[in-house]
């Protein structure tokens, strides 16, 4: 038994963070060293709380269950973030972690960065340096503030490094490690399964679609524009559309109707998502994670937003940005479908991002 244990706290709360955590937690579980051990404490903010948005990820991906769940979710952004800061401060004082791992750009990430920095704890930001240049997105504010509070900024791509340099962040803090989501894609792709709802008959020739962002769903007019466009696309294509709870609630509230060719479902598991990515003709999404997973699965992706953080995908021609309010959407998609982009470029590292993150973090721990 090593004499000394270092404590790393991972703070998570939303679906995409559980997925990123899976890659990091795997590396920590495999870590062996004679002179010291690592105790990994997972703190769940409670931001996502439905079973298929939270618990099922821990069981399916074999992530250790959180040591504590703050159960803060369902409120407004400010309310959630404020409550999380208050609760996290108490928890961090109790656990006395040597390092804090924060993931992505959610309200949970921001709350973690503020609580930890007020306690002078060392912060590692996983997926640092992304920018959409749209400060109306809550995520953009969360990212900028978290990056500027962090001690180690683990960047997934070269563009992320450049973004941080242009904001004057000290070069020594910037570490290009690749994307933990690519680690996961390589690790889990063999586990892909036909979604349980298709156990009798699996669909063929379909478009896989997800829409959940506040900027696309909170404004009724914009949501109606998106649904009208999907109905139009649905005239020629079968569309599989799992609903995020926010999207489902808003569609129910406004009694939005979709054509029969659009199949609305509950959220899928990660392994079912990988099956859908493999079988789909193309992807339509406003999710950051799915844009990359589509690329990993060598599928073209249409991003229904005004901008994307993953500009390398646009440059490669594998992703087409289609603002929901823009004209000629169907025509642009038809033209895009005929293109033959190169999927063999590797801007997201070599699938060893989590290993690099842990190695660098350990070097940092040894100098404490």
State how far the alpha carbon of 269 is from the alpha carbons of 89, 189, 192, 280, 301, in Å.
Answer: 32, 13, 10, 16, 20
Find out whether 108 and 14 touch, Cβ atoms under 8 Å: yes
Q: Do 139 and 106 touch, CB atoms closer than 8 A?
A: yes
Identify the residue among 30, 33, 71, 74 touching ligand UD1 (CB under 6 A).
74
> Which residue in the set 10, 25, 105, 283 belongs to the binding site for ligand UD1 (CB under 6 A)?
105
Strands of the 262-265 sheet, one edge to the other? 262-265, 238-242, 206-210, 282-285, 301-303, 319-321
Quick check: 292 binds ligand UD1 (CB under 6 A)? no
For residues 14 and 22, give the distance between their C-alpha atoms in angstroms, rounded to a whole number: 13
Of 127-135, 173-181, 240-248, 357-365, which part binds ligand UD1 (CB under 6 A)? 240-248
Out of 31, 49, 198, 271, the residue judged to bind ligand UD1 by CB under 6 A: 49
Catalytic residue selected from 44, 48, 125, 212: 212
| DSSP reduced 3-state for 267 | coil
Helix or strand holding residue 36 (H, E): strand 36-44
Q: Is residue 138 close enough to count as binding ligand UD1 by CB under 6 A?
A: yes
Q: Should residue 139 be labelled a site residue for ligand UD1 when binding is judged by CB under 6 A?
A: yes
- Residue 215 touching ligand UD1 (CB under 6 A): no
Whether 212 sits among the annotated catalytic residues: the reply is yes
Q: Per-residue contact track with ligand UD1, 10 to 29, x per CB under 6 A?
A: ----xxx-------------
In the range 258-287, which residues lie near ligand UD1 by CB under 6 A? none
Q: How far is the CB of 51 from ligand UD1 (least distance, A)?
A: 8
Alpha-carbon gap, residue 206 to 216, rounded angstroms: 22
Residues serving a catalytic function are: 212
Residues that bind ligand UD1 (CB under 6 A): 14-16, 47-50, 53, 74, 77, 105-107, 138-139, 212, 214, 244-246
């Amino acid at each position: 038994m090593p004499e000394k244990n270092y404590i790393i706290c991972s703070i998570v709360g939303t679906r995409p963070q559980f997925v990123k955590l899976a890659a990091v937690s795997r590396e920590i579980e495999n870590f062996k060293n004679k002179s010291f051990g690592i105790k990994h404490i997972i703190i769940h903010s409670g931001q996502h709380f439905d079973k298929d948005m939270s618990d099922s990820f821990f069981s399916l991906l074999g992530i250790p269950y959180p040591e504590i769940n703050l159960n803060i979710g369902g409120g407004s952004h400010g309310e959630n973030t404020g409550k999380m800061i208050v609760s996290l401060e108490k928890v961090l004082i109790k656990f006395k972690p040597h390092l804090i791992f924060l993931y992505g750009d959610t309200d949970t990430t921001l709350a973690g960065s503020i609580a930890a920095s007020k306690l002078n704890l060392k912060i590692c930001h996983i997926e640092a340096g992304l920018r959409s240049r749209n400060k109306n997105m809550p995520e953009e504010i969360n990212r900028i503030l978290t990056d500027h509070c962090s001690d180690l900024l683990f960047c997934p791509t070269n563009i992320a490094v450049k973004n941080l340099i242009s904001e004057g962040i000290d070069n020594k803090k910037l570490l290009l490690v690749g994307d933990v989501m690519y680690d996961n894609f390589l690790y889990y792709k063999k586990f892909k399964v036909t979604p349980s709802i298709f156990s009798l008959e699996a669909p063929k020739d379909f478009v896989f679609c997800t829409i959940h962002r506040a900027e696309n769903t909170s404004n009724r007019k914009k949501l109606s524009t998106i649904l009208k466009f999907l109905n139009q696309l649905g005239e020629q294509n079968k569309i599989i559309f799992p609903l995020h709870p926010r999207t489902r609630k808003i569609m129910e509230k406004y009694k939005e109707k979709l054509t029969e060719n659009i199949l609305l479902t509950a959220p899928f598991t990660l392994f079912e998502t990988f099956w859908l990515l493999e079988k789909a003709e193309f992807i339509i999404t406003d999710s950051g994670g799915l844009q990359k997973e589509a690329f990993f699965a060598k599928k073209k992706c249409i991003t229904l937003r005004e901008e994307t953080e993953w500009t390398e995908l646009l440059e490669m021609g594998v992703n087409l940005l289609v603002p929901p309010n823009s004209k000629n959407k169907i025509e642009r998609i038809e033209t895009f479908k005929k293109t033959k982009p190169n999927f063999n470029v590797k801007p997201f590292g070599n699938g060893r991002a989590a290993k690099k993150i842990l190695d660098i973090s350990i070097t940092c721990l040894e100098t404490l």
